[in-house]
Amino acid sequence: MESILDYISLFGHGLAAALFGALAIWQFQRKVERNDKHIWLIVAIALTSFWALTIAVEGSLSPISRFSETLRNFGWLAFMFILLRAGEGRDEPKTVNVIYAALIFVLVGQTLVDSLLPAFSGSPRLEEVTLYTSLVLRMIFAVGALVLVHNLYSITAPETRWGIRLPMAALAAIWTYDLNLYTITYLTQQIPIELHAMRGPMMAVIAPILVLASIRNTEWTLKLSRSVAFRSLSLVAIGSYLLMMIVIATALQIIGGDYARLAQISFLFGTTIGALLLLPSGRFRAWLKVKVTKNFFQHRYDYRSEWIRFTDTIGRPGADSAPFHERVIKAIADITDSPAGLLLMPDEAGQLVLQSRWNWSMIEVPARACTARTTAFFEDTGHIVEFDTLRAGQDEKCDASAIPDWMKSDPRAWVAVPLVHFDRLAGVMLLARPRVNRTLDWEDLDMLRVVGRQVASYLAESRSQESLSEVQRFDEFNRRMAFIMHDIKNLVSQLSLLAGNAKRHADNPEFQADMIDTLQDSARKMNGLLERLSQHNKANPEEPKPVRIADLIQATIEKKRLLHSLESAQIEDLTIFADPARVEQILGHLIQNAIDASAENEPITINARRRDLSVAIEVCDQGTGMSNEFIRSQLFKPFASTKQGGFGIGAYEARELARAMNGRLEVESTEGVGSRFTLILPLAKHLSGETPADERAA
């Protein structure tokens, strides 16, 4: 048995030495910018290779092997400290620096104690005391190193944890194995040769993990979180694990027998594998957080940390951060560990519609997202709806008619939080069910009410900023119009002077030549002004009157036919009640937008058909199309344009002109398929031939 273990130890540690040596050479030869982090990483890997080599040659209990293990631990400890100091975002807590200093002191003491072992070889009692002191120091270092690994990972900002997850897991595996090895040695007062032999294969498995970590994070950069400080949770967890292992290992030692050693080794590997499987699991961490909070803390939330995280999520957007409304959802969802959420906000008509979604792409939200009672119910009560309680019929405060069926029927819907600002509903937040399902208690409800009001104020402020920005853009547009009017006044003055002089010098050939040049220059300038004013040249619109839509559409097609291929599949001979100039202007906007969105060989179709007491004029293209979010939030917003040099006012003006004639503009579009704009205008006559009230009044 011992010969087999010797071979395992020899080849395992030899393989580990070769792999870590090759990794050190590869790191040294990589074409990356050299800094302290890379240098200490290469040093730590090289010292690990040296440690494995000394064990393969001299054995695990030789003085040189003990010393090389101390050097290995020092190298990785220094690498972690350099990573911490180079992290961006905040200064490391002083408590962490104290632990680093204490572990350096432990390594120095460990070296001194190991150097005394040969001197006390003639005194069994002193040699035993020295040996156990060395074991205790190694156990202390393993515990402290695991605490620092947990601390470095926990204070790293979530967006950069992926870069250090693998190296921290590798270091945690190394020192967890050491902790188990030395603890079992201390408890059983015997050297577990099986565990010493398996260290080599274990380190050989860790080497590829570090290779993958180096590929994922070539610069070894990390960003420290501003809302996380050093906590003793890792120390408590390690202490609890150590206590459990002492009790179980002691019990196995007392039972004894031929299988005691096998049981100890099985327990060691079983607990290690269990930790590797459970700790990375988000569901397990969520379950553990709930249990610890319920049994060990008076309050569920650390309000200071939650508030800092909440404000940082909403108010600190970075270059790669999500849009504002998605950050709003995430800020509330993170408080309850909800994995996804939806934000519903009122549109211009006061109806709740989907504004944004976060991690919840599968749920279908109808265009009219809520019922007629929803807004009034949430404004009057501010009630937070827990859907499990509502489905069970136990929520007496909730008006079931105010909650739409699509929310109640989806099992993923967990909580609806109203966002009320000064008794006005700014929105509704729908949160998905967390990984560990639970019911809301009084503390959850209080927290959601507070953050709901805060988010409502953020949303109201955002809308106010949008309105103010829109007013400012109109002011800028008016300022530009003032310059245009000034140019027009100059042209009028110039032409008036020319007309006055023509009466006296009309027969003079030189005057005639100058007059022609002046008229040409004025015409050129006026054409330029007309191009700038093409969307606003109907300052005095006519009163609505009966207009044959077929003639109007045909005239528009004839004017635009030279620009693009236009087709008319169905144009009914109907009479609308409208201002023909305004209708022509609307169609001009819609056709021009369709031309801009379409390829040259894709025709644009114009149809006109009856719809109840109205006429629906359709302009259809097969162009690039638009997303629902763009239609809802950008299409009809003035001065928001995706076209080069566009004012972004065409669709906005078309909708406003339609409204001025008691009509409306509807839009249907699919990205990559095309768009259909439908202009709805009232008929001039009913089927019976009677004139509608609006026409009779006119």
The highest-confidence range among 85-94, 292-301, 557-566, 625-634, by mean pLDDT, is 625-634
Q: How confident is the model at residue 692 (pLDDT cuts 50, 70, 90)?
A: very low
Q: Mark whether 515 and 563 lie in a shared domain.
A: no
281 domain residue, yes or no: no
CA dihedral 370, 373, 376, 379 (to 10 degrees): -50
Residue 70 main-chain phi, psi, to 5 deg: -60, -40
Stretch 387-412: mean pLDDT, rounded? 89
pLDDT given at position 671: 85
Tell me which of 172, 207, 232 is where a domain ends: 232
Give me the residue label for tokens 């030899």. Answer: 14
- Checking 472-477 for CB contacts under 8 A at 24+ apart, the result is 473/638, 473/639, 474/638, 477/639, 477/647
Q: SS3 of 619, please? A: strand
267 domain residue, yes or no: no
Cα distance between the two ends of the chain? 109
Count of C-beta atoms within a 10 Å radius of residue 608: 22
Q: How confident is the model at residue 288 (pLDDT cuts 50, 70, 90)?
A: low
Q: Mark whether 450 and 435 lie in a shared domain.
A: yes
pLDDT at 235 over 70: no
pLDDT at 231 over 50: no
Closest CA to 12 of 163, 197, 169: 197
Q: Any idea which of 14-18, 52-56, 248-252, 449-453 has the lowest mean pLDDT?
A: 248-252
Residue 131: both structure tokens together: 């040996």
pLDDT given at position 229: 40
Strands 566-567 and 604-611: parallel
Q: How confident is the model at residue 119 (pLDDT cuts 50, 70, 90)?
A: confident
Q: What is the CATH number of the domain that holds 326?
A: 3.30.450.40
Q: Mark whether 478 and 561 lie in a shared domain.
A: no
pLDDT at 439 over 70: yes
Cα separations in angstroms, 498 against 495, 506, 524, 527: 5, 10, 16, 19
pLDDT at 475 over 90: no
28 domain residue, yes or no: yes
Q: Any idea which of 66-80, 126-140, 490-504, 661-675 has the lowest mean pLDDT?
A: 490-504
pLDDT given at position 282: 52
Q: How confident is the model at residue 228 (pLDDT cuts 50, 70, 90)?
A: very low
261 domain residue, yes or no: no
Cα separations in angstroms, 474 against 317, 468, 518: 28, 10, 34
Q: Yes or no: say if 70 and 111 are a contact pair by the CB < 8 Å rule.
A: yes
pLDDT at 679 over 90: yes
Question: What is the amino acid identity at position 361?
Answer: S
Q: Mark whether 485 and 593 lie in a shared domain.
A: no
Query: Which domain covers residue 680, as residue numbers?
Result: 545-697
Q: Mark whether 220 and 141 lie in a shared domain.
A: yes
The percent of residues above 90 in pLDDT, for the chain, comes to 13
pLDDT at 576 over 50: yes
Q: How confident is the model at residue 566 (pLDDT cuts 50, 70, 90)?
A: confident
296 domain residue, yes or no: no
Q: How confident is the model at residue 144 (pLDDT cuts 50, 70, 90)?
A: confident
For 200-223, write each residue's pLDDT tens digit: 898 999 888 888 887 776 666 666
Q: Mark whether 328 and 441 lie in a shared domain.
A: yes
Q: Mark whether 453 and 473 lie in a shared domain.
A: no
pLDDT given at position 107: 92
Burial class (CB in 10 A: 0-12, 13-18, 19+), 680: middle
Q: How confident is the model at residue 151 (pLDDT cuts 50, 70, 90)?
A: confident
pLDDT at 108 over 60: yes
CA dihedral 299, 301, 302, 305 (to 10 degrees): -170
pLDDT given at position 486: 53
In Å, the largest CA–CA distance within the chain is 136
pLDDT at 238 over 60: no
Give me the residue label for tokens 């997202």. Answer: 369
277 domain residue, yes or no: no
Domain count, the chain: 4
Q: Mark whether 485 and 574 lie in a shared domain.
A: no
Q: Mark whether 566 and 679 lie in a shared domain.
A: yes
Residues ≥6 apart with Cβ < 8 Å to 428: 343, 344, 352, 370, 374, 378, 416, 417, 418, 419
pLDDT given at position 240: 59
Question: What is the amino acid identity at position 453?
Answer: R
For 609-640, write each residue's pLDDT tens digit: 898 888 999 999 988 888 887 887 788 876 56
pLDDT at 537 over 70: no
Residues ≥6 apart with Cβ < 8 Å to 59: 9, 65
pLDDT given at position 272: 56
Question: CA 526 to CA 534: how far, in whole Å?
Answer: 12
pLDDT given at position 220: 66
pLDDT at 58 over 60: yes
Stretch 530-557: mean pLDDT, rounded? 70
pLDDT given at position 693: 43
Tell me which of 503, 531, 559 is where a domain ends: 531
pLDDT given at position 48: 93
Question: CA 7 to CA 13: how far, in whole Å?
Answer: 10
The DSSP code sequence of 544-606 is PEEEEHHHHHHHHHHHHTTTS-EE-S-B---EEEE-HHHHHHHHHHHHHHHHHHS-TTS-EEE
The DSSP code sequence of 258-309 is TTHHHHHHHHHHHHHHHHHHHTT-HHHHHHHHHHHHHHH-SSSS-HHHHHHH
Burial 276-292 (b: 16+ CB within 10 A, else e): eeeeeeeeeebeeebee
Q: Yes or no: say if 355 and 427 are a contact pair by the CB < 8 Å rule.
A: yes
Residue 112: both structure tokens together: 């001194």
Mean pLDDT for the chain overall? 78
114 domain residue, yes or no: yes
Residues ≥6 apart with Cβ < 8 Å to 100: 77, 81, 148
Q: How confident is the model at residue 76 (pLDDT cuts 50, 70, 90)?
A: very high
Classify 341 in phi/psi space as left (phi over 0), alpha (psi -120 to 50) or beta: beta
Residues ≥6 apart with Cβ < 8 Å to 544: 577, 578, 579, 661, 694, 698
Q: Mark whether 31 and 145 lie in a shared domain.
A: yes
Q: Mark whether 459 and 480 lie in a shared domain.
A: no
For 153-206, write each residue's pLDDT tens digit: 777 766 667 777 888 888 988 988 888 888 888 777 788 888 888 888 989 998
Q: Mark whether 408 and 522 lie in a shared domain.
A: no
pLDDT given at position 569: 76
Q: SS3 of 661, please? A: coil
Q: What is the CATH number of the domain that holds 630?
A: 3.30.565.10
pLDDT given at position 343: 93
Q: Yes or no: say if 585 and 651 are a contact pair by the CB < 8 Å rule.
A: no
Q: What is the CATH number of the domain that holds 200?
A: 1.20.1070
Q: How confident is the model at residue 88 (pLDDT cuts 50, 70, 90)?
A: low
